[in-house]
Amino acid sequence: MRIGTARSSYRHDEALFDSRTQHAWLAILAVALIGFPFLADEYWLYLACLVAINIASTTGLNILTGYTGLVSLGQAAFMGIGAYTVAALEQKLGAPVLLNLLAGGFVAMLGGLVVGLPSLRVKGLYLAIATIAASVVLHFVFANWHAVTGGHAGITLVPAEILGLSFDTSFRLYWLFVPITILMVAGAANLFRTRIGRAFIAIRDRDISAEVLGIPLLRYKLLSFGLSSFYAGVAGGMWAYFFRVVTPESFPLILSIFFLAAVIVGGMGTILGAILGAVFMTMVPEALKLVVGWLPLSADATLILSPVRTIVFGVLIVGFLVFEPLGLQEIWRRIRRFFHLWPFRA
């Protein structure tokens, strides 16, 4: 907490951002987000859209894993539900885009509840493995329910269209995805100032104690599962509009591991952590591409890129867990603290 921010009202005390400095930085961030698409080229806009999608999904997983303490390796499968819902609605009915995204979220939420209901008999590692089982079953459904999912060939989409404006470039999708993601992140941040969010945290810290305190465990765990799947579903919907082709192989187990890794690397149980983790994990492969490109390897540079990426992915997970268990968010906090106290304390 900053020095010199005396609170004179409860309203002020409860505010998400409570100091002038924070407001100033937020304003700068907003200007940067609005200005970015006009300055960046196609490649950076593509990355920005991907980052927005990943932030949405990671924030969802963070609600479940970081705040409620339920580890899930099914996030990608729930994204798949969202993506297929959006793709099917778009292709078969041509329903409006925003409605599709919302429907994707709700259908994924339903899926999350169906998976969550039996899975919540177990917790900890068993739950993680139960969610792996759920993703295997969902993958099977995606691949074999031909009527809706189109089997292995999947579904191909036309670009999203709102009021006659076609969202066919990253530049245009940026204006669709970034506001949605901001809305979702803000929603998550506010969630943890309500009874529901506090109940989630109590469950994470000690579920039996939480139950003793009068929190109905099953209901709240299910709620957390549902919310997290909703986020995944909307993110999956955006994914569908972004890549415009949805196949069963689009959402493999490794993608679920990616999101869990993003939550861990960013810092479990913080809003900022999920954002930092998603940005970092999305950007690292791109940075690697640059580095491998610079190396004097010429011909087989692309050949070693994929294995190196896999290794770095693993090293990041292990490294953060061993050396920085609180994640990037903690590094960020340390840096901030340094500047707050500077020059009085180095």
Residues forming contacts to another protein in the complex (CB under 8 A) are: 71, 118-119, 121-122, 124-126, 128-130, 132-134, 136-137, 140, 143-144, 206, 208-209, 257, 260-261, 264, 303-304, 306-318, 321-322, 325
Q: Please state the separation of Cα 1 from the chain's center in Å.
A: 27
> Least distance in Å: CB of 320 to another protein?
9
Angle formed at CA 49 by CA 45 and CA 54, multiple of 5 degrees:
145
CA distance 161 to 108: 22
Name 165's bridge partners.
Answer: 162
> Least distance in Å: CB of 91 to another protein?
24
- How many residues make up the chain in this entry? 346
Q: Which is nearer to another protein, 93 or 153 (CB)?
A: 153
> Least distance in Å: CB of 245 to another protein?
21
> Least distance in Å: CB of 59 to another protein?
19
Residue 165: CB atoms within 10 Å: 12
Q: Which is nearer to another protein, 101 or 128 (CB)?
A: 128
> Least distance in Å: CB of 38 to another protein?
38
Name 160's bridge partners.
Answer: 167
What φ, ψ does residue 168 adopt, rounded to 5°? -110, -5
Helix axes 170-191, 217-243, angle to 10 degrees: 170
Q: Which 8-state DSSP code applies to residue 298?
A: G
Q: Which is nearer to another protein, 104 or 269 (CB)?
A: 269
CA distance 84 to 91: 10
Cα atoms in the 13 Å half-sphere on the side-chain side of 331: 13
Q: Which candidate, 200, 193, 190, places its Cα nearest to that of 69?
A: 200
Q: Which is nearer to another protein, 142 or 167 (CB)?
A: 142
Helices and strands (H and E) in the chain: how many: 15, 4
> Least distance in Å: CB of 280 to another protein?
15
Q: Are 307 and 313 in contact (CB under 8 A)?
A: no
> Least distance in Å: CB of 53 to another protein?
22
